[in-house]
Structure 1
Amino acid sequence: MTEIVTGTPASAPDRGAGLACARFGRVVLIGPRTVLRVTQGASAGQVASPFTALVHTREGATSRSHVVSSRTGLAPVLGLGEDVCAIVVPDVLLPPRDVVEAVVPLEDGSLARVSREMTRALCTAVQPGRSPASDTALEDLAVAIVRDVLREHHAATRTGPEDSDDIRRLAWSTIAERHCDPEFAVAALARELHVSRRQLYRRFPDPVGPADLITRYRLSTAARLIREDPALALSDVAVRSGFSGVATMRAAFVARLGVTPAEYREHHDVERTA
């Protein structure tokens, strides 16, 4: 279980100190103390990880909606406005392909606005002494709201292959095929996959993004060329492996292997003659 927010949330920004929370079933609801009057002890602020949260904030006349992953945490988003309401749902209750990996701002469309009003209505619906059946109904409604918002968001941003895994697989195979072209970069990769750069980076939530992956492929190819033909000029190695020049290749070797290309070649020459 992961603590989300308590009656006085230490993990949230100062302006989040006026928040309260309630738990029904496996879902946690966060709202203003003036609206959400029920807290249920420490367990009210805990939810199974990983989780996804639908967070609505308002600052004056400006309303914002975000979907937030447990990998990012809620604290940065809770500070975006003084009027906050949120639904926190364990990912196990959501379709795997719709779960996000970071903080995703939502378009202020009709569904976002409706979900904002429904979330506020949920805050007023949580009352002391409610029955287990009421908890189950509230949980089902909260999960349905988050599912619908995620489904609409992914439908709006999906312009190429349907599944993020499909895009990642295509990206890996395209990079493997094209990385030796010095003109090949993330922009070209995005065009070939028929997605925007932003959408492409969203499909790579891991530390290894598309630009880093291209560099890793080029580095692997350069190292192989050096091992196979120690007499090959480093300028030729750089061109054949897709680097823009020897200096760029050298920087990649030093950053990732801790040696220059020349030192790498010397090391393997010694191994070969030993």
Structure 2
Amino acid sequence: MAGGFGAIAGLLGRPSREPRLLLVHRLDERDPGDPGDPEDPGAGPPRSLLVTHPRAVPSESRGGHTLALAAPLTRVTNAALAPATNLDQTPLVRASRSMMAGLLSDLDHDGRRFGLGIDDVLLSLLRGIVLEHPDASRTAPPEATTATRLRAFIEARHTDSRLDVAQVARELGISRRQLHRHAPDGGVAAMLAERRLATARDLLAAHRALTVAEVAERSGFGTASRLRAQLARRAGGTPKAIRQAASA
């Protein structure tokens, strides 16, 4: 999306089931090394930010025209992020700026809709930018309990079909016994299955061009047979029934 910062930042203030992360680029500023128009000195060096709380953005960054990418925070990282972080103009940051501007231009010109592959690329860009800016992360607050970390981790990583209970425990740095103590009834495996089912239902309903195998891969089940088995076991349905209900 593009527009004034106030309108874009308003997204963060809207009610949402999960927190959002904004990657913000100023469009009225030049890239380093671009001499631009010598009679127009107003365009300074570019400013890019990661934002989780709009009120934390410095006043000097609020003016002008901005381009922003919004994503669910837990799809990007399970770390706690600072309210606002100024980004260095690394190759990855500059690539995200160019890609976002190009996608917006294509959308404005012909109204095309982009596939899920673009979502995956943009999320990967965001993850890379967070990783190369360690100052964006901060120590998790005391209230970030193991249960909270577990929920955030599954939200962020459930689409990885290789993720299982043992890997969750390893990456959270706790034993499987400790992990299960902080999981709700049914355990961690059930948490993974239910979250993957929710993603699969959304994909089946909204993207009819995807095959069941493609939905299974994108939702974390890996194979169509596993997706069908979990749908039958936990929801008493089939992919076809979900699509029929969505189009009714």
Q: TM-score range by the shorter chain?
A: 0.3 to 0.5
TM-score, normalization by structure 2: 0.41
By percentage of residues, which structure has more strand? 1
Higher relative contact order (CA 8 A, sep 6+): 2
TM-score, normalization by structure 1: 0.37
